[in-house]
A and B are shown apart, each in its own frame.
Chain A
């Protein structure tokens, strides 16, 4: 492509320095380990102060989506996608539905995974297995999406360099960066992941600020951009109609209710060294979409004006297209563009490693441990968790090596699955009248309805997976919560 950068060697050099830094941090994380236990490996001994907790929450929440998918979606939807700022903020409000009770309990009862809290309240093997599988589904989806984003980001920026050397840039990036992630993760566990997140969070903040400045200043300002869009793509300039507005509200509520269910985010709530630290981190986090989501929204708007007529798959690469254009037009801003690129890789890796660690903890603690006849030692579980991380990553890399894999379609259902676990926390921690049976019925019925709507639309039986422009997962949650409500009303024993 004509507007690809030629600075392949410089980019690879900067990326290599950054990766070496990650492995060093992973090693330091290993040295700081106090004991070989699940709590120390997966929650860093609940020792995070404000700086690390805030940066790890930030780097985990803002993923490859922030850099790659959000500008692409802005490109496709137009100015209406400004709602993404509210969507990302709403996740913090979602935590307030249950975190004030969950966090002190997690410390008192030594929870390691989100499922620990659920099975403490609902001691039923069905509830444990179903909630663990729903959470794992969301995590697998997340890690896979990040691996593909890594491949596409590197291919987008360095594609010509790899091609000129006869190499497959996508595959090399996915395999090599996945390998690096598992190395530092299995070295230092949550400590390594959170400390690398801190580095990645700083890069991310710096990169996004640079994106905002460059995208507005290098292409004639926001006023010129809007004028161009109004003239050449008016459908992306005017506000959405009522159906579009319902779709947006549904997206906001899907993240408001589903976002707080990310297991790796819940584990970061557990890992705070105090409630005070956690409150300060969340109170700061709620403002960050203004510095993170808003700049990438502007980037997408600039892309509409600069690259009219891209197809859907091309629109997913607008970030790299714009960075490449910036380097081409203004070689002097080379360094800024390189920083943004490394920040994009950092955003993707910080989310993928956190999700992988969380996946490994849920498998070890909630699915593997209950299968054993006798209580295993902490050392045994610690080792199993590490082995499982390697096996999982190997499988996911194999799947990610073929982005056209047909199972991808089902994995699009991420929040639809995660959101079905919400009643276990938001109702379970507050009502003694909700029983395991009703909770399990709600989760199963909600999940079945969500998948049913999605599959029905895919097979052409239904017009859309979003009846009345409301996401399948929201309909599933309505059914799920309704069943929990019936369960509470019908249970008078605990009055």
Chain B
């Protein structure tokens, strides 16, 4: 029996650039880029870097949503 069947026409693993973008957004959700000791600027009640985190989170969700809906194509979607 062939255990490595390929029951998909396309799948997210074949799109490395999307993985790079998605992982980059995950990295951006942590403020490693923020200079230590700098006082954050408040924007609408939240520190500036929190907005970067939230925007990165939304971008991440959009990329993953795209990967699921556009790059995952099963041989039979209704199967």
Q: Are A238 and B7 in contact, CB atoms less than 8 angstroms apart?
A: no
A130 to chain B, nearest CB (A): 19
Kindly state the separation between the CA atoms of A79 and B50 in the bound complex, as whole angstroms: 8
Residue contact B30 to A249, C-beta cutoff 8 Å:
yes
Is A89 positioned at the interface, with any CB of B under 8 Å from its CB?
yes
Given A96-B12, A104-B7, A245-B31: A86 in contact with B56 (beta carbons within 8 A): yes
Determine which of B8, B31, B42, B65 lies in contact with A226 in the assembled complex, contact meaning CB atoms within 8 Å: B42
Within 8 A of A (CB), among B22-50: 22, 25-27, 29-32, 34, 36, 40, 42, 44-47, 49-50
Asked if A85 contacts B54 (CB within 8 A), the reply is: yes
The residue that B53 contacts in the complex, of A86, A241, A246, with Cβ under 8 A, is A86
Contact count band on B: 35 or more
Q: Which residues in B have their C-beta under 8 angstroms from that of A18? A: none
The answer to whether B8 and A100 touch across the interface, beta carbons within 8 angstroms, is yes
Chain B positions within 8 Å of A334 at CB level: none
Complex formed: what's the CA distance from A92 to B25 in Å? 14
- Taking the closest CB of chain B, its distance from the CB of A349, in whole angstroms, is 27
Shortest distance between the CB of B79 and any CB in chain A (Å): 6
Tell me what chain A mostly uses at the interface: helix, strand, loop, or mixed: helix
Nearest CB in chain B to that of A92: its residue: B64
Across the interface, B77 reaches (CB within 8 A) one of A93, A245, A275, namely A275
When C-beta atoms are compared, the residue in chain B nearest to A103 turns out to be B74
B45 and A222 contacting across the interface, CB-CB below 8 Å: yes
Residues in A whose Cβ lies below 8 Å from that of B76? 104, 275
Query: Are the CB atoms of A104 and B58 closer together than 8 Å?
Result: no
Partner of A276, one of B67, B75, B77: B77
| A432 and B4 contact, CB distance less than 8 A | yes
Q: Are A431 and B4 CB-contacts (below 8 A) given A101-B11, A104-B75, A226-B47?
A: yes
Q: A93-B22, A239-B40 are in contact. Are A276 and B78 (CB under 8 A)?
A: yes
Chain A residues with Cβ below 8 Å from B79 are 104, 107, 274-275
- Chain A residues, Cβ within 8 Å of B57: 85-86, 89, 289-290
Residue of A with least CB distance to B47: A79
Query: Which residues on A sit within 8 Å (CB–CB) of B72?
Result: 96, 100, 275, 279
CB distance from A299 to the nearest CB of B (A): 15
| A108 near B7: Cβ-Cβ < 8 Å | yes
Contact B31–A239 (Cβ < 8 Å) = yes
CB distance from A81 to the nearest CB of B (A): 11
| Contact across chains for B30 and A245 when beta carbons are under 8 A apart | yes
Question: Least Cβ distance of B21 to chain A in Å?
Answer: 11
Closest to A288 in B: B61
Main secondary structure of the interface of B (DSSP, over half): mixed
**Given the complex, which residues of A lie within 8 Å of B7, measured CB to CB?**
101, 104-105, 108
1/0 per position for A231-258, CB-CB distance to B under 8 A? 0000001111110011011001100100
User: Which chain B residues lie closer than 8 Å to A248 at the CB level?
Assistant: 30
Residues of chain B within 8 A (CB-CB) of A223 are 42, 44-45
Instruction: Please report the C-alpha to C-alpha distance between residue A62 and residue B57 in the assembled complex, in whole angstroms.
Output: 18
Q: Are A275 and B74 in contact (CB under 8 A)?
A: yes
Q: How large is the interface on A (under 10, 10 to 19, 20 to 34, 35 or more residues)?
A: 35 or more
Q: Are B60 and A89 in contact (CB under 8 A)?
A: yes
B7: min CB distance to chain A, Å:
4
A223 CA to B43 CA in the complex, in Å? 9
* A287 and B65 form a contact (CB under 8 A): yes
CA distance A92 to B72 in the complex (A): 13
Chain B contacts for A238, CB-based, 8 A: 40
- A residues within 8 A CB of B8? 100-101, 104
Known contacts: A96-B72, A105-B7, A241-B36. The answer to whether A86 contacts B13 by CB under 8 A is no
Do B58 and A290 touch across chains, with their CB atoms under 8 A apart? yes
Flag whether A83 is at the interface (Cβ < 8 A): yes
Contact yes or no, A252 B40, CB < 8 A: no
- Whether a CB of chain B sits under 8 angstroms from the CB of A82 is yes
The answer on a CB contact under 8 Å between B69 and A96 is: no
Contacts of B77 in A (CB 8 A): 274-276, 279
- Chain B's nearest CB lies how many Å from the CB of A70? 15
What chain B residues lie within 8 Å of A89 (beta carbons)?
57, 60-61, 64
Q: Which residue of B lies closest to A276 (CB)?
A: B77
**A245, B32: Cβ atoms under 8 Å?**
yes
Give complex CA distance A140, B23 in Å. Answer: 31
A200 adjacent to chain B (CB < 8 Å): no
- Tell whether, in the assembled complex, residue B64 and residue A430 are in contact, meaning their CB atoms are under 8 Å apart: no
Given contacts A256-B26, A283-B69, contact A97 B42 (CB under 8 A): no
B binding-site residues for A, Cβ under 8 Å: 3-8, 11-13, 22, 25-27, 29-32, 34, 36, 40, 42, 44-47, 49-50, 53-54, 56-58, 60-61, 64-65, 67-69, 72, 74-79
Pick 13 A–B contacts, CB within 8 A, sort by A. A79-B47, A82-B29, A86-B26, A93-B22, A100-B11, A100-B13, A104-B75, A108-B7, A221-B45, A237-B47, A275-B72, A276-B77, A290-B61
Q: Please give the residue numbers on chain A whose beta carbons come within 8 Å of chain B beta carbons, in ascending order.
A: 79-80, 82-83, 85-86, 89-90, 92-93, 96-97, 100-101, 103-105, 107-108, 120-121, 221-223, 225-226, 237-242, 245-246, 248-249, 252-253, 256, 274-276, 279, 282-283, 286-287, 289-290, 429-432
- What are the nearest 5 A-B pairs in CB distance? A223-B45, A104-B7, A86-B29, A100-B11, A245-B32
- Contacts beyond the supplied A121-B4, A274-B77: 4 A-B pairs with Cβ under 8 Å: A238-B40, A239-B31, A274-B78, A286-B64
